[in-house]
């Protein structure tokens, strides 16, 4: 199956490893990720004021491109892109007048007809591939790894665009179980990592990373699995910096779910892309004997 893939800014820069591993597992599963033509930035955060249509333009334009390319579904890897595209899609569906205004504003583009469905890659794995199928393909089960799934905000809230329950999501723990890992639950799994405050409020974000991770450590967790590139950066990099703030604190390694799937499916390590991580993710995998390198 061909998947129309919308990358977004970060997937082409600091989260190339997320893209790389996702592409590899898609291929292994018999699907082809095809990058959308002419894609533009989605704006990352959805516009939240009622009178502001301008900021819906960027996401909408991408939806038009998808329609132009004859597709019905866009697959995204970035949580924030997924959220923003979905929110715009929702808004123009809820308020047809807004769609009309936006359509008339876009001179060069075709009108958006509202046919596009946006899908998070995780959603795709759950709903189209199914974790049961995935489980059967596992070659290196993540045996002995105690992993805390971390969801963050954007795949769960607002409810209208969520891919799982806002308070008790299970998609990542179901995936982890399929991969053979032990799941460590954490009430902070749905709390914000600090998001863009990572630029101006570094300590604040380090505190967040510490709070989220420390509970997991306390419960015997030895790694974190997540999806969003900004969450990855905050937990990994700012989390590492938190070691300087909190005594005896040691940040856990952070994995994208795509990386862990790639490991579990026994894909070539060149697809893992662990080099960009600050807290060494390889060490644990070796220690647990999941893979030898």
Partner 1 sequence: MSKKLQGNLNLNTIQLKKGELLTEVEELCGENLFGCYQCGTCSAGCPFVDEMDLSPDEVIRYIILDRKEVLNSKTIWLCSSCFTCAERCPRDINITKIMEALRQIILRKKIDRTNIKNITKDEKETIPQMAFVSLFRKNVG
Partner 2 sequence: MPLKTYDKKKDHDLGIPLEDDYFYEEPEEIIENKDAPQLESTIQTVTQRAEKIKKRVINADVLVVGAGISGMQAALDTADKGYKVVIIDKTSTIGGAMVKLDKTFPTNDCSICTAAPKMVELSRHPNIELITYAGINNLQGKPGKFKAQIWRKSKYVDPDKCTGCDDCAEVCPVEIVNPFDEKLSTRKAIYIEFPQAVPIVYTIDYDACIGCGSCDRVCEPEAISFLEKSEEIEVNVGSVILATGFEVFEPTEMRKEYGYGKYDNVITALQFERLLSSFGPTEGKVKRLSDAKIPKSIGWIQCVGSRSEQLGFPYCSRVCCMYATKEASIAKEANPDIDITIYYMDIRAYGKDFQQYYDHAKDLGVKYIRGRPSSVYENKDKSLTIKYKDTLTGEIKEDTVEMLVLSTAIKPNEENKRLGEALGIEVDENGFFKQQELLTDPIQSTREGVFLAGCIQGPKDIPDSVSMASGAAAKAVAPIKDRERHIGKEFPPEKDVKGKKPRIGVYVCHCGKNVANYLDVEKVTEEAKKLPNVEHAEHIMFVCSEDSCKKIKEAIEGKKLNRIIVAACSPRTHGGLFQDTLMEAGLNKYLFEMANIRNHCSWVHSDDWDAATEKAIRLVRSSVAKARGLEALSEEEFSIYPATLIIGGGISGMKAALALADMGIKSIIVEKEKQLGGRLTNLHSMFPSDTKTEDILNPIINKIKKNKLITVMTDSELDKLEGYIGNYKGTIKQKGKTMEIEFGTIIVATGFREIDLKGKYEYGKNDNIISQTELETKIKANKLKEPKNVVMINCAGAMEEERPYCCRVGCGVAIKNAKLISQKYPKSKIYMLYRDMRVFGKEEEEYFAEVLKKHHVTMIRYPGDKKPGIILDKKDPKKGSVSVKVYDDILNEEMTLPADLLVLTVNTEGGAATEKLKNMLKVPVDAAGFFIETHAKIKPLDFSTSGVYMCGAAHYPKNLVDSIAQAEGAASRAAIPIAQEKMKGEGIVSEVNEALCRGCGLCESACAYSAIEMKPHPQDPSRMLAEVNRALCKGCGSCAAACLSSAIEQKGYKSDQINVMIAALCEKGKAK
Helix axes 16-28, 257-264, angle to 10 degrees: 40
Rank residues 44 and 162 by Cβ distance to partner 2 and give the closer one.
Answer: 162
Rank residues 141 and 158 by Cβ distance to partner 1 and give the closer one.
Answer: 158
Instruction: State the residues that interact with partner 1 by CB under 8 A.
Output: 8-10, 13-15, 41, 43-45, 48-52, 55, 78, 80, 153, 157-159, 166-167, 190-192, 194-201, 204, 208, 229-230, 233, 237
Say which entry of partner 1, partner 2, none residue 168 contacts (CB below 5 to 8 A, set by partner kind).
Answer: partner 2
Instruction: State the residues that interact with partner 2 by CB under 8 A.
Output: 165, 167-168, 187, 218-219
Phi, psi of 2, deg, nearest 5: -90, 135
Closest separation in Å from C-beta 78 to partner 1: 7
Say which entry of partner 1, partner 2, none residue 165 contacts (CB below 5 to 8 A, set by partner kind).
Answer: partner 2
Closest separation in Å from C-beta 165 to partner 2: 7
Ramachandran class of 210: left when φ > 0, alpha when ψ lies in -120 to 50, beta otherwise: alpha
Alpha-carbon 178 to chain mean position? 18
Rank residues 7 and 152 by Cβ distance to partner 2 and give the closer one.
Answer: 152
Rank residues 131 and 188 by Cβ distance to partner 1 and give the closer one.
Answer: 188
Q: Are 132 and 178 in contact (CB under 8 A)?
A: yes
Q: Are 204 and 195 in contact (CB under 8 A)?
A: no
Say which entry of partner 1, partner 2, none residue 233 contacts (CB below 5 to 8 A, set by partner kind).
Answer: partner 1
Question: Which residues pair with residue 256 across a beta bridge?
Answer: 226
Instruction: Tell me how far apart the terminal alpha carbons of the chain are, to the nearest angstrom.
Output: 32
Closest separation in Å from C-beta 154 to partner 1: 8
Phi, psi of 71, deg, nearest 5: -105, 160
Alpha-carbon 1 to chain mean position? 21
Rank residues 52 and 167 by Cβ distance to partner 2 and give the closer one.
Answer: 167
């Amino acid at each position: 199956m061909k998947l129309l893939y919308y990358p977004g800014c970060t997937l082409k820069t600091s989260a190339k490893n997320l893209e790389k591993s996702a592409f590899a597992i898609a291929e292994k599963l018999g699907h082809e990720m095809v990058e959308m033509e002419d894609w533009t930035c989605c704006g990352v955060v959805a516009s939240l004021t009622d009178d502001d249509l301008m900021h819906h333009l960027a996401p909408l334009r991408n939806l038009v491109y998808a329609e132009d390319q004859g597709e019905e579904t866009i697959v995204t890897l970035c949580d924030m892109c997924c959220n923003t595209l979905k929110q715009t899609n929702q808004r123009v569906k809820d308020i047809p007048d807004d769609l009309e205004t936006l359509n008339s504003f876009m001179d060069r583009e075709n009108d958006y007809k509202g046919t596009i469905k946006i899908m998070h890659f995780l959603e795709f794995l759950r709903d189209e591939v199914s974790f049961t199928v995935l489980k059967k393909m596992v070659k290196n089960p993540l045996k002995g790894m105690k992993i805390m799934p971390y969801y963050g905000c954007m795949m769960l809230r607002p409810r209208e665009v969520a891919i799982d329950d806002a308070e008790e999501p299970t998609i990542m723990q179901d995936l982890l179980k399929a991969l053979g890992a032990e799941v460590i639950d954490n009430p902070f799994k749905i709390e914000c990592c600090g998001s863009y405050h990572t630029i101006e409020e570094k300590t604040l974000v380090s505190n967040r990373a510490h709070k989220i991770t420390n509970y997991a450590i306390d419960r015997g967790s030895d790694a974190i699995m997540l999806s969003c590139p900004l969450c990855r950066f905050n937990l990994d990099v700012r989390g590492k910096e938190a070691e300087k703030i909190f005594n005896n604190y040691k940040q856990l390694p952070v994995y994208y779910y795509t990386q862990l799937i790639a490991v579990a499916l026994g894909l070539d390590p060149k697809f893992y892309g662990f080099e960009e991580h600050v807290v060494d993710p390889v060490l644990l995998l070796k220690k647990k004997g999941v893979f030898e390198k």
